[in-house]
Amino acid sequence: MDRDGLYLFGRRWSAESLTLTTAEFAALLTGKTLAVDISGEYILYLGVDLADGPAGPTEDGSLNAGPR
């Protein structure tokens, strides 16, 4: 059973998982966009909205994705 119930949003024919490297995550925080191929059929463009303020590591080492 899926997290959202058995086929709540229709039958799923495929499933993918994405793991970002530290470098890829850092690139997103600098405004880059990653393009991910999904099953050779779709492309997912992944980016971070930085309009709300700066993003990146804080003094205590935690990540700040910007104010919300």
What pLDDT score was predicted for residue 68? 47
- For residue range 10-66, list pLDDT tens digits in order: 777 777 788 999 999 999 988 899 999 988 888 999 998 877 665 566 677 666 655
- For residue range 44-56, list pLDDT tens digits in order: 999 988 776 655 6
pTM: 0.56
What pLDDT score was predicted for residue 21? 94
What pLDDT score was predicted for residue 20? 93
Instruction: Detail the DSSP E strand segments found in the chain.
Output: 34-38, 42-46, 56-57, 63-64
DSSP reduced 3-state for 40: coil
